Copies of this chain bind each other. A is one copy, B any other.
Amino acid sequence: MSSDSTSFSESSRRAFGQIIHLSMRNFWHFTREQGLSMAQIIALRQLYHQGEAGGCSVSHIGERLGVTNAAVSQSLDKLVHQGLVERKENPHDRRSKQISLTLEGEKMLKKSMRVQRSWIDELSTKLSVEEQAQIESAFRLLSQKINEME
């Protein structure tokens, strides 16, 4: 059970909020530029981050986004049409579909992430080598712990 002594300090929380805020602002603009909805791009990122070789099902995407399967299906129509995802039949269960990113979709996702972190890439040029190492180290630790959580 988490107690105050094991949680981050208020200043760290504020810093975290700033990080998210800056990233989301960039992300918001990118999403609008791409003519995608938030639900769509969040779905794409789910596909990207979980990286399942077998793709993801329509109902799984719906669960993650909190929308109906009908909404997912309609959204996927647009993404397939744009060449960002593909729908395949699930060989183990022909009722089900396997949704995965295309190479084009991966490229777009990677671009969205570059845009999203552009502010911190710029900020990194203003850091000393030690400061940069410190931040790198903390990020690696976080990533390791995130991977352990999943």
CB neighbours of A65 from chain B (8 A): 28
Interface of A is mostly: helix
A11 with B145: CB separation less than 8 A:
no
Contact with B along A16-45 (1 / 0, CB 8 A): 111111111101110010000011001001
A145 with B126: CB separation less than 8 A:
yes
Which segment of A88-96, A98-106, A114-122 sits at the interface? A114-122
CB neighbours of A39 from chain B (8 A): 28
A132's contact among B6, B19, B143, by CB below 8 Å, is which?
B6
Tell me how many residues of A have a C-beta within 8 Å of chain B.
62
CB neighbours of A1 from chain B (8 A): 125
Which segment of A54-62, A72-80, A133-141 sits at the interface? A133-141
Interface residue ranges, A against B (CB under 8 Å): 1-2, 6-9, 11-25, 27-29, 32, 38-39, 42, 45-46, 49, 64-66, 113, 116-117, 119-127, 131-132, 134-143, 145-146, 148-149
Given contacts A20-B113, A135-B138, 17 further A-B contacts (CB under 8 A): A6-B124, A6-B127, A7-B121, A8-B132, A8-B136, A11-B136, A12-B136, A12-B139, A15-B143, A17-B116, A20-B117, A123-B145, A131-B141, A134-B138, A135-B141, A138-B138, A138-B139
